[in-house]
Amino acid sequence: MKPLSNSLQHMDVTTTLHPYTDARVHEEKGPLVIERGEGIHVIDSTGKKYIEALSGLWSVAVGFSQTRLRDAAAAQMEKLPYYHTFAGKGHEPSIRLSEKLVEMTPENLTRVFFTSSGSEANDTVVKMVWYMNNALGRPEKKKFLARNKAYHGITVASGSLTGLPANHRDFDLPAIPVVHLTCPHFYRFGHDGETEAEFSARLVKEAEDTILREGPKTIAAFIGEPVMGAGGVMVPPAGYWEGIAALCKKYDILLVADEVINGFGRTGARWGCEKMGFTPDILVTSKQLTSSYMPLAAVLFSEAIYDAIADNSHKIGTFGHGYTATGHPVATAVGLENLAIIEEQGLIENAARMGEQLQAGLAKFADHPLVGEVRGTGLIAAIELVADKATKRPFDPLGKVGAKAFEIGHEEGMIIRNLGDSLALCPPLIATAADVDEIVRIMGVILDRTAEWLAGDGADVVR
């Protein structure tokens, strides 16, 4: 019989493999054990309180320990704790949530398919698009266009759509036909002397040249986050999305909006695609759909896509795709209550107001000696740290300074996320003006302490 561990930390390092973690370093440091949450804060096992300035993983819209979500889950657990939606079965929470999502999304999106995560949802998008094109007699129309630094998930298909090296390396990805285009981040990828308008035009031309090179009849879909999240919080410049949408229409390519992070007010608008001024054929949402209290995601799509899939399911006898938890009654009941809270408390409007305050507060750090760029929209933002402000030269090795800033944040009582040397913020939509002021204040301390570290113990970083 295996010996029992004598602490949570020991149990963890001897039994658990953590996502997005250096496993050997973790064995030495052990986990930060979070015990409970209250509003925008979480508290660890020692009693230390932190502002959760990333909303967990970009997702806890209504804050932690929202009793209405607890009660909604408990009530549904008592009534119908689980049932599937296979073979024509249904239940009230999933049916009502489908109707609610159709009501809340752009008018052309009329159908819903549920999964348990954004990764599963984007994986489902790939399969749905392939299935549809086979049904329409277009078996060659299978390639996807995505962007470098995009994040669309980590399954084999969605991980292939993702454009981040760490998600591909040694996983043998991409494993599906996908072409990655230039990331629409002007600060980092604009050419010397190029205006933002010229940058947008160049990227749209790159997309069209790629379509023509690959063959329009082979390109099934273009997938993108309206505002890019885990790649570093990048807001595409004006004209970019309008140009991409026009290309998709011109060449009969489906346009997929990955709203897993953007959706339900994160950008200060209900949907990122509305904020960016385009209408997708498919929209994927998760995270803030339940405030991540329950695993749930949804794919919304047009009636034309539905008709092609439905006709083929009739021809074959089934739509041979789905998950045990598709439309889970407890998850969808929590989703319904979460959306009710967002609407009743005006959290989308609050995100717009608090977002303006957050962006204005962070903009004051543009002159800080470590800061290359401050960027974002609504209640999502990032500060990119650089070795040289004039040339935008990054630190070497990339990520070491960001990791130190992340650690300092914990010491100062705020959880952020370091994406390389970009420091990301994404506070809950319930954040107040006082909360935003405190987040900005602590970020200033983090920047100053990181600069002090660089001048001392961090002097080995190439600057």
Distance CA 407, CA 184 (A): 29
* 426 band by pLDDT with thresholds 50, 70 and 90: very high
Segment 288-303 mean pLDDT: 98
The Cα 226–Cα 267 span in angstroms is 9
Average pLDDT for 41-69: 98
Residue 457 has a pLDDT of 83
pLDDT band at 463 (very low <50, low <70, confident <90, very high): low
Residue 415 forms beta bridges with which residues? Answer: 52
Tens-place pLDDT, residues 152-174: 999 999 999 999 999 999 999 99
Please determine, for residue 319, whether its predicted confidence score (pLDDT) is greater than 70: yes
Q: Which part of the chain has CATH 3.40.640.10?
A: 68-344
Q: Are the C-beta atoms of 392 and 398 separated by less than 8 Å?
A: no
Terminal C-alpha separation, the chain:
53
pTM: 0.97
Counting every residue written for the chain, the total comes to 463
Q: What is the mean pLDDT of residues 261-273?
A: 98
Could you give the residue range(s) of every CATH 3.90.1150.10 domain in the chain? Answer: 32-62+346-455
Q: Using one digit for the tens of pLDDT, what is the confidence trace for 332-344? A: 999 999 999 999 9
Fold of 68-344: Aspartate Aminotransferase; domain 2 (3.40.640)
> Can you give the pLDDT at residue 458?
77
What distance in Å separates the CA atoms of residue 360 and residue 357, rounded to the nearest whole number?
5
What is the rounded distance in angstroms from the CA atom of residue 41 to the CA atom of residue 53? 8
In contact, 261 and 226? CB cutoff 8 Å: no
Above 80 in pLDDT, residue 258? yes
Query: Using one digit for the tens of pLDDT, what is the confidence trace for 75-124?
Result: 999 999 999 999 999 999 999 999 999 999 999 999 999 999 999 999 99
196 pLDDT higher than 50: yes
pLDDT tens-digit series, residues 199-227: 999 999 999 999 999 999 999 999 999 99
Determine whether domain 32-62+346-455 maps to CATH 3.40.50.1110: no
Residue 52: strand pairing partners: 415
Is residue 406 very low, low, confident or very high in pLDDT (cuts 50, 70, 90)?
very high
Percent of the chain with pLDDT over 70: 98
Q: How confident is residue 1, by pLDDT bands cut at 50, 70 and 90?
A: very low
Mean of pLDDT over the chain: 97
- What's the pLDDT score for residue 461? 75
